[in-house]
Structure 1
């Protein structure tokens, strides 16, 4: 083997030394500031009107996360209502372009699982601290977030129905503005006292998610329309039939509600304009109702019958099955941050949604808010009486079956027993393909 000329050997040795020196500098820099990590870029699908103020609030929250996590950059995508967002996620999953995180209805969990769209949160919560976080949420919200001991959705913008009432109109009608109706019979009595020319005593939205507005009455009568199983419903049970009769009688017999169907957005508008003295609406509407009403607004738990009750509602944070482990881990960090007490408190104050864990109500900002706005605490107090929202396999189809049955009773002179018997048969046929 030939020896290299002396001058070439010197050049080679110098190059090796320079390489070692530069490598050492790099290691020192890495020891001080950390190796440069690849930035995980995530997409977050969120249901809200793009032009709405909540889109701006959400963008601000996401920006705060990005600033605090330079190795993760989340882009929020505002996708319209829940239905539109669900369709977008399903379509994106099939085409390989799914978001990494999405807020979808808590009741979509079974459908998302049936289509392999979401991942179990337990698989990411490895540490003791993660487990404590996972167990920190209100049990009422976890009823639509767990399945067989596994958590698939993290409560985020969750709600219940509430009774909103006009305190001025209560006073004019000779009713105590600090004593809203607590029972079905009191609801009818007060509603009649408040019904007059140009004003209905009560409005309950019925044109959209009618099943949700009806479900409290079933719960309050002692029989929820759904249990723990995702392949069974209880539409035709006697207590549910009785509840639907009372629900329909509010307009058809007692005449404290307008005839026909009432739009979801119509009720709060009629309340603010004085066309309705009481309304049932989501706790998530609280902030907007307080802004638009020009009178003292009372907020109360829903009147009960054999018991108080309401279904929960609203959306969960889901980690989408993107099959990219690094992005899925980053998505878990984002979900944890978004559901932390301080962030959740900020979102609840902006919207009226319920803080999803007791820790939210220990934050300084939430305590300050409730001192100024005590109405904001009613939904949380009602959680002790809350029950599972209607959620099954093929959930949206099952919900529509019950909504249609309710609407037939309200508008087509169909008897509750007949409508619910037919609804039970339709639901049983649809759910029969899903075994225990």
Structure 2
């Protein structure tokens, strides 16, 4: 995998161009994660336990984490780290907020190149091949083997798709998502649409959007900036196949199905006039939805708690409409443990990763943020059952996982993503046709990936 010099050279570029999203939106926090409530559980949801017995040696971990959503999640993360140290007094975790996913990737890359990487980090799951090309991360299979056969099977397979390659597991899912369709139920009623019957197909969505569009309000918004590749992936999956091979060495951008999907997306704004023209900002879309400026939106489920907290109207959440089938790429960040650190730190980092993704904690994290709880068992907890009974929208992204596929992930991933993003944006700003843009994207991506196919 790393036998060619060209591979290593191009890997050095992988982080700094673009790092993507997958799990963006805005979230709120729950109670401080290091407090204990009368039920005997910590506020993060995990059973409170007595501190583990001290050994003679202390370990300090540097933990890089991004905030890909708005809201005071830094406090939540820091309190979870404090709670971990309270239970494991020999391990001190130093959380370092490193900005967006892109910022975190650049800082991590710099650390790897200077032989001073973080000990553990949350990075986008799609950077798997780029991290491997840098020889930066530790395979986790030896740790996983000690946990028993049921450990990995509790994670949703769709989330593991960006975590494994070559028969090994390289990262553990943490803040993960799918893209869903949000819709304003009151606006549906006002337009004569059944608020309990959202659109199920592309054509239904186009028809609904026409009925919902009026002066000062769009029928639909789909974000473009930064995440055009992710949104295009929805249309690709719903109309045929994914955009890349499982080994991350080839992409399939220029196909008739993808041209059709991009044409449909572009027609919604240019022809049907139900969506803004140009490059709609990622962060603008949820704000527009909350403020009543759009009746429907494509966005990450990581935005669910933000909408729930701030929308002053009844809203629905549903699967993305289908063409040939339903489909959504997964998104979000995973935990990685780094190679060029002391073995004691690697062991402590694994303990921290397990702690952060423990069943009750995963359930509470999902409730606090809107991300999908990464473990099946999280949905069997009493707290999640009660929450879902009161707020069934929280289950939509989880249920859509049966139709989900890996997010775009290749070698030299940053450059490949940027190539596709630029071409999608060119179409939606009216400077390229879908056919020409995807042809160019294919040619440029093939050149970038050529060293990995020799």
TM-score by length of 1: 0.90
2:48 corresponds to which residue? none
Query: Gaps spanning 5+ residues in structure 1: where?
Result: 1-32
Structure 1 SS opposite 2:313:
coil
**Which residue does 2:65 correspond to in 1?**
46
Match of 1:117 among 123, 136, 153: 136
Count of aligned pairs: 403
The C-alpha deviation readout for 1:29-60, integer Å capped at 9, x for no partner, is xxxx9774211110111102899411111111
**Contact 1:49–1:78 (CA under 8 A) maintained in structure 2:** no
| Equivalent position SS for 2:307 | helix
Unaligned runs of 5+ in 2: 1-51
Which has more helix, going by share of residues?
1
CA distance in 2, matches of 1:37, 1:208: 48
Which residue does 1:68 correspond to in 2? 87
User: Aligned-residue CA RMSD in angstroms?
Assistant: 1.5
> In the aligned structure 1, how far is the partner of 2:382 from the partner of 2:115?
43
Distance in 2, Cα, partners of 1:322 & 1:39: 19
1:213-232 alignment, distance < 5 Å: 213-232=231-250
In the TM superposition, 1:132-147 aligns within 5 A as 132-147=150-165
Instruction: Tell me, in whole angstroms, the C-alpha distance in 1 between the residues paired with 2:149 and 2:350.
Output: 13
Q: Which moved more, 1:145-154 or 1:45-54?
A: 45-54
The yes-or-no answer on 1:102 pairing with 2:112 is: no
Q: For 1:37 and 1:371, how far apart are their aligned partners in 2?
A: 47
**Structure 2: how far apart are the matches of 1:428 and 1:36?**
53
Aligned pairs for 1:287-306 (under 5 A) are: 287-306=305-324
Give the counterpart of 2:365 among 332, 335, 347. 347
Q: Name the counterpart of 2:440.
A: 422
Q: Does 1:158 align with 2:208?
A: no
Give the corresponding residue for 2:254.
Answer: 236
| CA distance in 1: counterparts of 2:148 and 2:240, whole angstroms | 36
* Residue 97 of structure 1: how far off its partner (Å): 2.5
Q: Distance in 1 between matches of 2:363 and 2:340?
A: 29
CA distance in 1, matches of 2:54, 2:289: 58
Corresponding residue number in structure 2 for 1:174: 192
Query: What is aligned with 2:205?
Result: 187
Give the Cα separation in 1 of the matches to 2:434 and 2:268.
Answer: 14
Deviation per CA, 1:253-287: give whole Å up to 9, x if none: 11110111110110011111111000000000100
Distance 1:50 1:314 in 2: 11
Partner of 1:7: none
Counterpart residue number, 1:284: 302
Deviations 1:293-313 (A, max 9, x none): 110011111000000000000
Tell me if 1:379 matches 2:397: yes
> What is the correspondence of 1:329-344 to structure 2 with a 5 Å cutoff?
329-344=347-362
Give the SS at the match of 2:182.
Answer: strand
Tell me whether 36-45 or 153-162 shows the greater mean CA deviation: 36-45
Specify which structure has the bigger relative contact order, considering alpha-carbon pairs within 8 angstroms and separated by 6 or more residues.
2
Q: What SS does structure 1 have at the residue aligned with 2:452? A: coil
| Offset at residue 163 of structure 1 (A) | 0.4
What's the offset of the Cα at 1:84? Answer: 0.4
- Counterparts in 2 of 1:51 and 1:401: CA distance versus 1, 3 Å: closer
CA deviation digits over 1:316-365, x for unaligned, max 9?
A: 01111233111101111111111111111111111000011211101122
Aligned-pair CA distance for 1:126: 3.4
- Do residues 250 (structure 1) and 268 (structure 2) align? yes
- 2:75 aligned with 1:56: yes
1:87 to 106, 113, 138: 106
Distance in 1 of aligned mates of 2:82 and 2:341: 25
Residue aligned with 1:408, SS: helix
TM-score (norm 2): 0.86
Other structure's SS at 1:125 match = helix
CA distance in 2, matches of 1:317, 1:35: 26
Aligned-pair CA distance for 1:229: 2.4
Which residue of structure 2 aligns with residue 362 of structure 1?
A: 380
| Residues 34 and 423 (structure 1), Cα distance of their counterparts in 2 relative to 1, 3 Å cut | closer
